[in-house]
Structure 1
Amino acid sequence: MRPAVYKAWARAFHSNLQEPALPLEEYPSLQAFFIRSLKEGSRPIDPDPNCLVSPVDGKVLRLGQLRGPGTMIEQVKGFSYPVSSLLGATSSLHDATEEDISGEQTEQNVPESSNAKSWWRVSVASPKLRDRTLLSPKRGIFYCVLYLHPGDYHRVHSPVDWSIFKRRHFSGNLFPTNERAVRTIRNLYVENERVVLEGQWKEGFVAIAAVGATNVGSIKLLIEPELRTNNPGSMALHSQSYDERVYEPEGTGMMVKKGQEIAGFKMGSTVVVVFEAPLSKARGDGTVSSDFGFCVKAGDRIRVGEAIGRWSQS
């Protein structure tokens, strides 16, 4: 009976039944099938060291370049949200200034407390800026918003080789994150429950925000399996309150490789990637061109391991 249900689901949401790692009859529930792993080799990872790959299977909703942490990302025409609200008050991106970034914003459309422990700390923070990080004027900040449809593969992989320094969990709402909701719910991504991983890679800052959706805020971290999300009664009193874990050793964090599985959703949702990438020299008109270029555009479908963008070797 269960395989028939999974086949019906796959037909409705266009899932590829040739990819699951297990035979259909071995999945004990629809949820287990939903968060299925894939056969080895199903998602080859682009080996180019000068590219950043997609962490998920999904649809590109938005992408572009930002001037700094206070820059607004346009959710949809008329609705925008600051990247600082998405990532959290203690993000190391926050004290970067417009001069530090030296780039113009471009887009493509469709109260603090801490409790220190030996290996982690938790804080509930209000939105103020700290943890200054100086960003090279030869680097820009870019972002990409990816939506996972219900039929998509729902595990999250690393877009680059990097060190994860911090994890933040925002116990927010569980509004839907489908394209209709994106058009109608203001501040959708900064109001919903989400988990943010932040750290450094060879080109600078990088962060991944995994945003929960209706009834399925449950986000699982392979690198921190004890984390519990979508807990009854855990709604934050303030949309920017969160608990934070600093991965030890501080300043080194947890090393992950490009393509390595790091998390999973229990239902369709959204992933936002914010990252630094190389900029080229200033043009004569005072603007800055970028060596980095996106390989995708808004509306494109992309899979884990396929390049989001590339840059030339300096």
Structure 2
Amino acid sequence: MTKSRKLQSPHITTASTITTTTTTTTVKQDGIAKKILKTSASSIKTVHAGVRSVLRHVPIKKPPQVVRWDFLGVGLSYMWGKINRKHLPVFMRKPLYQAWINIFKCNQSEIPAPLESYPSLADFFSRPIIEGARPISNEGTVSPVDGRVLACGEIKSDLVEQVKGVTYSISHFLGCDPQTLLKNKDSKLYHCILYLSPGDYHRIHSSEEWSIQNRQHFPGTLFPVNKPFLKLIPSLFALNERIVLTGEWQHGFYSLTAVGAYNVGSISLNFDEETRTNCITRDFRCKNLEYFSWNGVGTHSYDLTYESPIPQERGQEIGQFHLGSTVVLIFEAKDFEFTIKQGDYCKMGSLIGKEKIN
């Protein structure tokens, strides 16, 4: 019996030693893995910080062409647009659109027609909503879209926030010095940026009673318009393709701009069928599109002055995103007060601000 115990003892000790060794090895491996992940994360953060630092010091007047007209931004957005416009077999429509509704939390009760009645994803995306779903406020300026407020307030210099801590140039965005737009000497300029998420209603409406006199189409790149990119790329709104509508309202200058973005560059206007965005075939005489061009962003646009001003009523539909992005309001007023703030979510037709009555 004693001998038997002596024979068993080495085996027990060896098993215990092996288990301990294995556990120690596993702990060491986990520690090494954690260190590698921590180092990688630290390196990524350092690289991102370096890229942001470089981009902030690159003169926005002379960005390289590779930044303004990139293959991923324009090429893939064009292809995605073509795919979205393809008619789907009827049996595929309802499950596909229902999946979109579930993922992006669309309000299905506002959809006016059966899901299978929309031939393509583009048709479903830019669908109307049931009548009366967006009551229009008569108290002041209303939101032109369903969207989240990225920034709003008075414009006190050429550089204003596109998102907290990062700016864009108004003069590059509009293609002119904004101070020259003022109709009244004692007026100020104001702006409001509204971001549309994939689940939002994507038609654009008039936020005020005004008249549209000019249209400027700025070809450009198509960066994603989300917080990471807005923080990474200064003056992103002045780089992306956009349609600037300018005119007048009761207090002077008024403008509404539809900004394109990655995979969502298609914009159409109800009163202007000639305007085409998100096109792979372009006029390369345009200075913004020349390869290896170092000309300033906002130096060229396709301009049109309408033969007669186009009147718009508050809440009237102006156009639509066929895959949506951002709307920017820039306007003149003597003393305007916003009733919204950064981060708020607005429904089209809801009050966003009004002129103060002294």
TM over 0.5: yes
Q: Which of residues 196, 203, 209 is equivalent to 1:155?
A: 203
User: Is contact 2:165-2:231 (8 Å) kept?
Assistant: no
Structure with a larger share of its residues in strand: 1
Classify the secondary structure of the residue corresponding to 2:109: coil
Classify the secondary structure of the residue corresponding to 1:247: strand
1:231 corresponds to: 279
Using the size of structure 2 for normalisation, the TM-score is: 0.68
2:269 corresponds to: 221
User: Is contact 2:256-2:330 (8 Å) kept?
Assistant: yes
Q: Any residues of structure 2 matched to 1:205-220 within 5 Å, and which?
A: 205-220=253-268
- State the Cα deviation string for residues 140-191 of structure 1 (Å, max 9, x = none): 2111111000111111000001010100001100111022211112221000
Q: Which of residues 40, 49, 62 is equivalent to 2:151?
A: 62
Q: Which of residues 67, 74, 97 is equivalent to 2:161?
A: 74
1:271 and 1:233 mapped to 2: Cα distance?
25
Report deviation, 1:31: 1.3
User: Is contact 1:168-1:243 (8 Å) kept?
Assistant: yes
Classify the secondary structure of the residue corresponding to 2:191: strand
User: Is contact 1:45-1:305 (8 Å) kept?
Assistant: yes
Q: Which of residues 246, 249, 255 is equivalent to 2:305?
A: 246
1:207 and 1:267 mapped to 2: Cα distance?
22
Classify the secondary structure of the residue corresponding to 1:95: helix
Classify the secondary structure of the residue corresponding to 1:3: helix
2:318 corresponds to: 262
1:27 corresponds to: 118
User: Is contact 1:178-1:269 (8 Å) kept?
Assistant: no
1:299 and 1:175 mapped to 2: Cα distance?
21
- State the Cα deviation string for residues 40-66 of structure 1 (Å, max 9, x = none): 111111012xx1111010000101101
* Structure whose CA Rg is larger: 2
- State the Cα deviation string for residues 1-44 of structure 1 (Å, max 9, x = none): 31121111011111111112222111011111000011111111
Report deviation, 1:215: 2.2
Q: 1:312 to 1:74 in 2, by over 3 A?
A: closer
User: Is contact 1:65-1:141 (8 Å) kept?
Assistant: yes
- State the Cα deviation string for residues 42-94 of structure 1 (Å, max 9, x = none): 1111012xx11110100001011013xx52112235532221111123x7x44
2:210 and 2:183 mapped to 1: Cα distance?
18
Q: 1:78 to 1:16 in 2, by over 3 A?
A: closer
Is 2:332 the partner of 1:276? yes
Runs of 4+ in 1 over 6 A off after TM superposition: none
Report deviation, 1:301: 0.4
User: Is contact 1:35-1:153 (8 Å) kept?
Assistant: yes
Q: 1:198 to 1:42 in 2, by over 3 A?
A: same
Report deviation, 1:135: 2.2
How many percent of aligned residue pairs carry the same amino acid? 44
- State the Cα deviation string for residues 202-237 of structure 1 (Å, max 9, x = none): 111111111001122111001102211111142733
State which drifts further: 166-175 or 16-25.
16-25
Classify the secondary structure of the residue corresponding to 1:172: coil
What letter matches 2:340 in structure 1?
Answer: V
Is 2:232 the partner of 1:141? no
2:99 corresponds to: 8
2:119 and 2:223 mapped to 1: Cα distance?
28
Is 2:151 the partner of 1:95? no
Classify the secondary structure of the residue corresponding to 2:257: strand
User: Is contact 2:150-2:163 (8 Å) kept?
Assistant: no
Classify the secondary structure of the residue corresponding to 1:180: helix
Structure 2 gap segments, 5+ residues each: 1-91, 290-294
Q: Any residues of structure 2 matched to 1:197-212 within 5 Å, and which?
A: 197-212=245-260
Q: Any residues of structure 2 matched to 1:35-50 within 5 Å, and which?
A: 35-48=126-139
- The alignment yields a C-alpha RMSD, in angstroms, of 1.7
Number of aligned residues: 256
1:19 and 1:25 mapped to 2: Cα distance?
15
- State the Cα deviation string for residues 243-276 of structure 1 (Å, max 9, x = none): 0110113xxx111111000011111311110112
1:126 corresponds to: none
2:171 corresponds to: 84
Q: Which of residues 337, 346, 349 is equivalent to 1:305?
A: 349
2:263 and 2:356 mapped to 1: Cα distance?
43
Report deviation, 1:134: 3.8
